[in-house]
Structure 1
Amino acid sequence: MALEIERKYLVDLEKLGTLQTGNRIKQGYLSTNKEAVVRVRVKNDKAYLTIKGSNVGVSRLEFEYEIPLDEANEMLDKLCQKPVIDKTRYLIEYENHTFELDIFYGENEGLVVAEVELSCEDETIKLPSWIKEEVTSDERYYNSNLMKNPYKNWKK
């Protein structure tokens, strides 16, 4: 069993400074029911099928398998719900943690979030100055929900 424990935050890009090279990610969803989501992701020249369980606090089950790139691209094109999530991910090391910073494009243009994985739910972490606010429990920020209700449709 694989357990994912993570927190999600909004980011102030103006406080961040220059970013190093990121990885372009396109991901789509084959299923987004309440109990589990099934995602296809293409990251550079690799592809993955991921199954994530429903959140219990900041934890959930997660299983990920590498799949052939050509098959993943065909699934994104022909089987996944639209719009497909399009983003660049940057890895930022800070105080013994790796923050995954995502800058979104397309239907979610303007959204910038950072996630950090934890070793346990009550782990204390020091946040960088470029973190604005935590949105871990706000389901609008789940990638599967950004596909259903893109950021561009939110009232500012």
Structure 2
Amino acid sequence: MEIESKYLVASELPFDLNTLHKKEIEQAYISRNPTIRVRKSNDRYILTVKFKTSLDSGEVLCNEEHETLIDEETYEHLKAKRDGNVISKTRYIVPLEPFKCGGEDISVFAELDVFHGYLDGLRFAEVEFPSIEAANAFVPPEWMKENVSGDKRYKNGYLSVATDISDIASRPEK
């Protein structure tokens, strides 16, 4: 099970992106309910199916996620059948300070997505947690702003059908 929270981020970051590990990602959505996605991450191709679970809340997302490696030809074939635009982004891996949960030290990192193309200017960070308790105990650093975990406008599947970032703000929340 995937347990995560998603945050919009500050325009000024307290670290240099050039010092972080990064991946170039291209992804397309075949379906948004259930979520069926194909992704190229550097030189890997992945088919993902996600199902929302009953544990999902507005502040923490809980999904059942199944991933399968595919070849480039299958990726290109499925990408051509997409519903919406192809999303292009750079994902940076940002180490975060450990925090306490139930007496244990929990170490997590943020995946900071910087979007390109028609979504240029959009940036958000996702943090995955080992448990719902850890997700609820997490206090985000100051550069992580609004928690948008429950706001469907910031789900990648919905971003794929936006025309640009101004279209996202004009849609109703949740």
| The two structures share one fold, judged by TM-score above 0.5 | yes
Q: What is the letter of the counterpart of residue 124 of structure 2? A: V
Cα distance in 1 between the residues matched to 2:159 and 2:147: 17
2:70 maps to 1:67: yes
Cα distance in 2 between the residues matched to 1:21 and 1:119: 22
| Contact 2:159 2:168 (C-alpha < 8 Å) held by counterparts | no
Matches within 5 A, 1:144-155: 144-149=157-162, 150-155=164-169
Aligned residue in 2 for 1:121: 132
2:2 maps to 1:4: yes
Other structure's SS at 2:31 match: strand
Identity percentage of aligned residues: 35
Cα distance in 2 between the residues matched to 1:68 and 1:153: 33
Other structure's SS at 1:71 match: helix
Aligned residue in 1 for 2:48: 50
Aligned residue in 2 for 1:22: 22
Structure 2 gap ranges (5+): 98-106
2:114 maps to 1:103: yes
Other structure's SS at 2:77 match: helix
* Structure 1 residues 142 and 155: CA distance shift in structure 2, 3 A: closer
Q: How many residues align?
A: 151
Alignment RMSD (CA, Å): 1.6
| Contact 1:108 1:152 (C-alpha < 8 Å) held by counterparts | no
Aligned residue in 1 for 2:154: 141
| Contact 1:30 1:79 (C-alpha < 8 Å) held by counterparts | yes
Q: By how many angstroms is 1:140 displaced?
A: 0.5
| Contact 1:107 1:152 (C-alpha < 8 Å) held by counterparts | no
Other structure's SS at 2:133 match: coil
Cα distance in 2 between the residues matched to 1:5 and 1:28: 22
Cα distance in 1 between the residues matched to 2:93 and 2:21: 9
Q: Deviations over 1:70-92 (max 9, x none)?
A: 3213322x211231111000001
Matches within 5 A, 1:74-113: 74-76=77-79, 78-95=80-97, 96-113=107-124
Other structure's SS at 2:121 match: coil
Structure 1 gap ranges (5+): none
Q: By how many angstroms is 1:13 displaced?
A: 3.6
Q: TM-score w.r.t. structure 2 length?
A: 0.80
**Structure ID, larger Rg:** 2
| Contact 2:48 2:68 (C-alpha < 8 Å) held by counterparts | yes
